A and B are shown apart, each in its own frame.
Chain A
């Protein structure tokens, strides 16, 4: 590098002497560039002041989302994160550290967010009678303090076990159904009461492993 510099210097002076102005300008440009590059490659200078002069031009970054060549993108990073999370949930369930669980269940056309010990009321005709113990199978969502299992639309069958007891079957208060048409001498009145079923939620548990579905699915309710 030093030799080259000296050569250029000599050449520069020669051209100066020869009054070749254009040539001199060009050489000066090259010279200044050379100095710049030298400064950039000099580690001492690099560490001090010259760094923010944008070594990599950020201009094209504004218009493209393509990763720049020096970025290392791991294609499996997302999968690793997912696996870590699922493993954590599974270990929690295995060690029974999941705490209180809650679930969103679909019963008789309505959705309820329930946890252990809740009471929900189901309206309309619904066959189970007082004292019956039932499991609520249509679980749309289940979760603990640290995680949530979201069904698409229903959580994998058999993974979440929601047990409930029917504690009461009554009728609602008397509701009035009143119809009237103005100026038509038309008036009707009806009274009705809706059957109500009270359900006590006994337990919500996660049975088995999360994200480990059986190989054959959809045959849980099939009769052969």
Chain B
């Protein structure tokens, strides 16, 4: 079993240059497609170059696309980002669709984040707007003037009556009823 992911570098969300606050800037700067003109393992890459590459370059005027034919070697995509990261993908025996999918992914990524695990799915500069919760939020301001030790405030808030209390109450009620009866007489 591979425990590699347990030892990955853990990181937080890090977006370059406040991307998207004003407008979105594509972070991919350069793509190099390396392939062999003869070898079968580069076939999908050659198909991609023939049919889709021109459109890809047209759709993304901000991305420089290089082609690098080299004899008898595996097809490879190398991507370079605005922050200096470089990403290298081996495309041995990839189909045309697979390659176009990877090219699309590279276009929408902002750095080479393979090998970093996100700790949180949320980043904020303003963690609390109404103020963080404290034990005194939403409490009775009377508490400020209470002097401790204090029996009333030291009790649990949801204290229920004991059976003895109930009995005492019943007794008192009875007494009052008797008193009322006497008065009525």
Binding site for B on A (CB under 8 A): 59-60, 62-63, 99-102, 110, 112-123, 129-131, 143-145, 148, 165-176, 178, 180, 189, 191, 196, 198, 200, 202
Contacts and interface: CB of A to CB of B under 8 A. Distances in A.
Counting chain B CB atoms within 10 Å of each CB, the highest count among A112, A113, A168, A202 belongs to: A168
Contact of B115 (A100, A168, A173): A173
Q: Which DSSP category, helix, strand, loop or mixed, fits chain A's interface?
A: strand
Interface string B15-27: 1000111001011
Contacts of B1: 176, 178, 180, 189
Contacts of B20: 165-167, 200, 202
A182 to B, nearest CB: 14
Contacts of B13: 119, 121, 198
B146 interface: no
Interface of B: 1-5, 8, 13, 15, 19-21, 24, 26-27, 105, 107-110, 113-118, 121-126, 129-130, 172-173, 176
Contacts of B113: 170, 173
A114 B124 contact: yes
A168 B4 CA distance: 25
Nearest to B14: A119
A169 B115 contact: no
Contacts, number: 114
Contact of B15 (A110, A112, A148, A198): A198
B168 to A, nearest CB: 12
Contacts of B176: 59-60
Nearest to A180: B1
Contacts of A176: 1-5
A159 B168 CA distance: 55
Nearest to A119: B123
A173 B116 contact: yes
Contacts of A172: 117-118
A129 to B, nearest CB: 6
A101 B21 contact: no
A180 to B, nearest CB: 8
Contacts of A173: 5, 8, 113-118
Contacts of B126: 100, 102, 115-118
A180 B27 CA distance: 42
For the complex of A and B, 10 pairs with smallest distance between CB atoms:
A200-B20, A167-B20, A169-B108, A121-B121, A130-B108, A165-B20, A131-B24, A119-B123, A118-B124, A173-B117
B122 A112 contact: yes
A100 B126 CA distance: 9
Contact of A145 (B4, B108, B130): B130
B21 A115 contact: no
A117 B21 contact: yes
Given A101-B129, A180-B1, 14 more contacts: A102-B126, A113-B122, A120-B122, A129-B108, A144-B129, A166-B24, A167-B110, A168-B110, A170-B109, A173-B8, A174-B114, A176-B1, A189-B1, A200-B20
